[in-house]
Structure 1
Amino acid sequence: MTVVIAVLHAEDVALEFVSVLRRHADRDIRVVVGQSASWVTLPAGLSPGERLELLAPLVEPGGNTAPLPVPEEVAGRLGGSPAEVWTHSPADHRIRRARFGWTVSRAVPGLTVTYSVGDNPFLQTVPGEAIALTGAEADIKLDFINRHAGELLRSRVADRLVTTDRVPVVERFFAADATQANRLYALISSLGDDAAVADDPWEFGRSAYEAARLDATAAWVARWCAPDDGPIVEVGACEGELTRRLAGNGYTLQATEPNAGFRARLAERLGAGPGSGPGTAGRAGVRGGADSGAAGPVGAGVATAERSGPGVEVSPDSLEDLAAHRSRPAAAYLLIEMLYYDQDLALLDALPTDRILIALETGQLNDRVWPWLRRQSTWRVAERLELAPPTLESVCDGLAYLRKRGSRGLVLTRSGEAG
């Protein structure tokens, strides 16, 4: 049966899979190249260097924008039912490689896939196997890149740039089933629409850190707003872990979530079917929907909401929608761990409330929120506190670990308003 190495770019075989060439020196290996929609057979009996030379014509140093294949296309290039498939990690920091590895994982039901750990400075994947190359094999890597992909040593495309750490002398691999691959890809896609491909990608329902952070956030909200004060708007409610806590404490909530996948789970978990309304923006779509910035009377163009159990209403409104339409006056607006998408902070001035609770990791607060606060006069800081300290935590059933960056809270009240 066939052995397949499926890579996004031809040079990736030299960068990450030379040990696989050694492992299967006596077997033909099919190399599938996603970027160029091509494949080539590396015959048994050739040296690793000779095999790599067959890939040289497929190296395209300038290419990184071709449409990626869908699972059905990849399945057609795998050559029947391969015995082994090796590909990129769905958690590779280079998002197109991650997406290609994720696509390969879905190409054939029950397919056995082994993933290269690849490149990710933020997520440490625990390898099932780490293979040290010989000095001669390391030289083969360097020679191939220098002669056939030297332009990548100075590439201006971050994902294509070949740096020392992307030419490992120890190649590391791990095995994962399709469900785990899905979760890894969702985690690395946390700022994009694909974050919703897995249920609870940030593991709010499984993580001790996240549970403590959410409990602390709910208690913080309770200190600043009583249920009798009026409705609260939670912007970017995701799948509703904080919403559920607040609803259980008797609050009337308007939970907004632009990503249709997250919003459907949010509504379902709060006791209703999927939310209605346009909802075309993804998780990154908190930057704005179709009506962002539109002028008009209060309530014009507001997305349809759906009641989701006692005291909770779910809608697809983005931060931009809420600021533009000003149709949801509230005792407070909650912007909890959602100002990571380059939103214009001046939008906060238009929110129909005198109180905003913001929670973010320290770096984002220091880099974005504090400079904005110093330049404006609409809001004053009524409180700052630490909701959760940073911690190291395993994710995806122990397949990887990362640094949870912690969460700090700010209470903003309009200038002249009592805290």
Structure 2
Amino acid sequence: MKDVSKLILEDGAVQDRRIYWDQDIYEQELEQIFARAWQFLAHEGQIPNAGDFLTTRMGEDNVIVARQPDGTIKAFINSCPHRGNVVCHADTGNAKAFTCAYHGWAFGLDGALATVPLEHDAYYDAIERPRYAMHPVAKVESYKGLVFGTFDARAPSLRDYLGDMAWYMDTFLDVPGGIELLGPPMKSILNCNWKVPVENFIADGYHVGWAHAAALKAIESPLSPLAGNQAYDVNTGLQVATRGGHGFGVIWDAAAAIHPEGGAFRDWLAKRTPIIRERLGEWRSRFYNGHWDASIFPNCSFLYGTNTWKLWLPMGPHNIEVWTWTLVEKDMPAELKQMMVATNMMTFGTAGMLETDDGENMEQCTGSNRGWVTRRGKLYSGMGQVREGRHPELPGIIGKGIVCETSNRGFYRRWAELMSGRSWEEVAREPRSAPNREVA
């Protein structure tokens, strides 16, 4: 096992470049992070009825997520216990059972072995069926419609895992009617390490005015004055790092800033804001009108405002598959939902203008580390470290302004904790307090 204390330094601000390239570190991530952490599987609305299912991945493990006859949701590895073949090749559907195409072994919606061809004549009734059920995902839980799973039966509850991030996400999850994800997801391949897009979405307000300068001008976004990073007002937003490695940045009053025809969205926000204020208070009504860049540890990211929801599915240390949905409020009128989908496709879809900007940079940030000498260098995420601290009303560690790297450091602190092999109990016994300064 790699000594993580030499890979993440200065309270998360310095990263060893090898974490973006080396195969042995990646294998350690699969074991210590993806085999233990809660990972996003689906929104409940994607599998509303008994027998509804979808296939996805947790790390590099293929899984089936299925709605049970009793309404609960279960998940299990999509691989036949007989000879290992993929059992279900469909992305989504409705089924009464799953049958392996190789030898015909069939499994119930709960993954239990149901029937075996020639069980009497060839196996002589000697198969212990419970022993050959499909491998279950140990825990599957939902938080206000968002379904996550973990392979680790000792993991904390999903609510405890989300921690302070749940308080912030309630800003849009607790709207009347809730939310939904519109799909099917757009899918693409990027030649980058999975952590690069996570850190881009969790903390990188710095790149917006530079990497996206031309795109912001082309769509005539209210954010286009940021182009060129010529000026910066630290009061335009803030960043939040939570204990669990989740985090986000928010630009105040910018939820509709990326939508070329954002009038209908602004009207919707104005209509709903009093409801949010009454339900959740003044601060979260303010977050409701902001534009977020956010990530849920380890590999789920979203932009609230642009309303894109993403999974960065690892395919080795240098490649990922990107899945992209559009996040909307269920009660939005159909034409507003369609506008959100169109904007998402134009900006952060597979061929979106902003996605293309980011994708090229993400690939270069990974590929540059192939060099033996380059790989032994360090990278620095110390922006704003001297200005972050506690807030009198907001949970987590707060970074002053949107252009800082507070959330990035929080992500790598949690990465290092899990990569060290420490148990959930050990991690919980060492809570991190915010720096001894107050951020207004």
TM range (shorter): under 0.3
Bigger radius of gyration among the two: 1
